[in-house]
Structure 1
């Protein structure tokens, strides 16, 4: 059942709140999903192929029990039942993502799917009919395969392709959707995916790809935001932002406080400072770290790509609120000589010469 976990958590939270605390007036409860993880119908009608379709089909065993998203919760066919469940448990909002290749089968705006458009129209209208606010994520990791074939998020042209896609989605659904997330958890798309190679698109390239992806995803977000700001906000009156995966980092010992701050800048900072800070651009502490580490590796210049002044101004201020998903916290400490650091942001950071650990007393 799609909302089973939410039901359990709601019941537990209700008991806990009655005994201890009360949520403030206006607090909203909701649920969130991702298109690839729930929709199924991977090859229905004229839907295009995404990087996750390709990844799971070409890499049996990459996912536990050889699972795929081919059917998943089959929300494409069961959308009304999902809405009924959401209504029954009293959700105020439902955040879902649009599948880029379901709307634009090749990823480009010259090929539009009527079937995809109709599906999301039915979903949005059905939610509103039940008094549930739709919150829409434009990108939750299901990049069209033809765009990946050109380099995906390491190709600077992807910012234009994403802007075209965002413009199309705003034009279709913006009359009813008032809260938008452009890109979900970019650090997972860039850092985790390219540092490990265990997520789609299945490419391990931790030298340049992570940071090229980081830069281009911020530019893509900003272009989408500016399109909404100029052409849609005046009549649709919605809000747009960017959702971080906020892994919180604390020092293992008091001596590690400066390192913990660098760790936070390496996670939240690289995906927040260019958007939310007054000056824009990369966090200066990370610019310094990457310059020093790149030289140590034998590179003549930093692996962290520079922003032009125009790009800094484009990205800076491209938000209406700060959005994040939070799962857990890690403690950080310096790596020991010869210690296997692993990869950022799962076990540690070679750039910071640091290791992430969990307190064994945590449940």
Structure 2
């Protein structure tokens, strides 16, 4: 019979085993071009929609700032790679600036300077043993293409495919993991439903849906291009990534409202790709068709997929990439009630009230409430809806307002969410990667420099943009080194 101390010893081993990540699980960190590169008009780079938006509508930015210099990673890429190496990252996710590589947005003019910059970055990462993971589009559309209608113009499907061909040709021999489009729901909803992000056009329920369909077709065109022409040579993987808030019901009587919201929040940019039937989520498609008819429209505001388009988009994935930060609760609207403080995810459109649980603490960002179990629930929901495929967490992180190097809350956020990832893996979800957002404090869109997500502090008052590791960076480095949440010793 095992004595008490022996039992405790075995129990300790079991606890450690439960909080150890599977062999082959990869840890990385992410950034995005507009948020870190700066050099907005260096060489022959042309303006993006965010250059135009911040220069001409600075009143929409919390501190009136822009990404003109940001972290100056265009010039300090070597230092960023050294920091990524110091953390022991398995991979580094960055994005390619469309207007830096193709100054007029079209593939007839390729910037030699843009090619040099991304070649240097990719080669520098590989020299340090860090896998480059590249995003084709992280919100910085060439202004020249926006002037032609941007994501609401169906011709953008071909423009994006042409851009993807250039990128795959230039960098596909070394980049093996690709994200086509980052967070389509932000590109379409925060822009056209909320009018908050560049280019700042408000067209809820019309422009937002045109944007959504075109993004799905553009992603599919880029995936099929890689699959047919580049995969035989380079054997890489391609998918898009979705930011998804976990939506849970206020109570059991509102399960239907929560599920309908999830079909908007996740299904809008997933159902067409990851299901056997393709097209829009049926419950959502039916709801919008009936509502459009009541509003007097001759047809649904949600543009239909032809059968040919359904087949074109269906199955265009090699994995499911998800960005998770926060959660909401859903219930039916009361008479005369608005949709709550977060009208995204179709809350106003589908008659659902969204808010947060009073026990969820708030981070620095106004939209950000902490609910770690939501990540596990979301991963399980994704597997249930889209199958037993590979899932990658491509962004997860925590915002503060202070430049505190002893960032205890960020460490706690990471530990709590990574524990939920382990629980999801035990639930049978095939999660293979985790990506911290972000490597560096950066330009946080309409928050400017007031929200700080970085593992590494950046002094934006210093012309040299001095970088300093936070305690969370040391925590993350130890996690990567030990592959476990239990073996981390910060001393």
Question: Is TM-score (shorter-chain normalized) higher than 0.5?
Answer: yes
**Aligned residue number for residue 142 of structure 2:** 144
**Which 5+ residue runs of structure 2 have no aligned equivalent?**
1-14, 362-491
Q: Secondary structure at the match of 1:295?
A: helix
2:300 maps to what in 1? Answer: 302
In 2: Cα distance, 1:182 partner to 1:345 partner: 26
Q: Is the 8 A contact 2:194 2:343 kept in 1?
A: no
Does the CA contact (< 8 Å) of 2:278 and 2:314 recur in 1? yes
Post-superposition, which runs of at least 4 consecutive aligned residues in structure 1 deviate over 4 A?
A: 17-20, 342-345
Instruction: For 1:350 and 1:195, locate their aligned partners in 2 and report how far apart those are by CA, in whole Å.
Output: 10
Unaligned stretches of 5+ in structure 1?
Answer: 1-16
SS of 2:262's partner is helix
CA-CA distance at 1:327 after TM superposition: 0.8
Give per-residue Cα distances to partners, 1:103-147, cap 9 Å, x unaligned.
Answer: 000100111100000000000000000000000000000000011
- Choose the corresponding residue for 2:46, options 19, 35, 48: 48
**How far apart in 2 are the matches of 1:214 and 1:343?**
23
Q: Is the 8 A contact 1:348 1:355 kept in 2?
A: no
Q: Are 1:49 and 1:101, in contact at CA under 8 Å, matched by a contact in 2?
A: yes
> Is contact 2:33-2:97 (8 Å) kept?
yes
After superposition, the Cα gap between the structure-2 partners of 1:316 and 1:20, relative to the gap in structure 1 and judged at 3 Å, is closer
Q: Name the counterpart of 1:159.
A: 157
Select the structure of larger CA radius of gyration: 2
1:347 and 1:228 map into 2 onto residues whose CA distance is 30
Distance 1:200 1:343 in 2: 20
Q: Aligned partners of 1:24, 1:279: CA distance in 2, in Å?
A: 33
**More deviation in 191-200 or 348-357?**
348-357
Query: Relative to 1, partners in 2 of residues 1:246 and 1:213: Cα closer, same or farther, differing over 3 Å?
Result: same
Task: Select the structure with the greater relative contact order (CA < 8 A; seq sep ≥ 6).
Answer: 2
What is residue 14 of structure 1 aligned with on the other side? none
1:113-124 alignment runs, 5 A limit? 113-124=111-122
How many equivalent residue pairs? 347
Please list, as runs of the form range in 1=range in 2, the aligned pairs for 1:182-331 lying within 5 A after superposition.
182-331=180-329
Pairwise CA distance, 1:27 = 1.7
CA gap of 1:101–1:122, structure 2 versus 1, over 3 A, is same
User: Any conservation in 1 of the 2:265–2:346 contact (CA below 8 Å)?
Assistant: no
Given that 1:191 and 1:345 are in contact with CA atoms closer than 8 Å, whether structure 2 keeps it comes out as no
1:7 aligned residue: none
- CA deviation vs aligned residue, 1:7-60 (integer Å, no higher than 9, x gap): xxxxxxxxxx97972222222111011100000000000001100000000012
User: 2:264·2:346 contact (CA, 8 Å) conserved in 1?
Assistant: no
- Deviation per CA, 1:220-259: give whole Å up to 9, x if none: 0000001000100001000000101111111111011111
- The answer as to whether partners of 2:263 and 2:284 remain within 8 angstroms in 1 is yes
Which residue in the other structure is 1:37 paired with? 35
Displacement of 1:351 in angstroms is: 2.2
Contact 1:344–1:350 at 8 Å: present in 2 too?
no
Give matches, 1:99-118, under 5 Å. Answer: 99-118=97-116
1:53-92 per-residue CA deviation (whole Å, 9 max, x = no partner) reads 0000001222121111000000000000000000001111
Q: 1:68 aligns with which of 55, 66, 69?
A: 66
Using the size of structure 1 for normalisation, the TM-score is 0.93
SS at match of 1:65: coil
Contact 1:137 1:180 (C-alpha < 8 Å) held by counterparts: yes
Q: CA RMSD in A?
A: 1.5
CA–CA separation in structure 2 for the residues paired with 1:186 and 1:38: 20
1:274 Cα deviation (Å)?
Answer: 0.2
The offset of 1:193, in angstroms, is: 1.2
Query: Do the aligned residues in 1 keep the contact of 2:338 with 2:348 (CA within 8 Å)?
Result: no
How far the C-alpha of 1:340 sits from its partner, in A, is 2.0
Return the alpha-carbon distance in structure 2 between the equivalents of residues 324 and 54 of structure 1.
29
Match of 1:8 in 2: none
Offset at residue 342 of structure 1 (A):
5.4
Structure 2 residue 359 is matched with structure 1 residue 361: yes
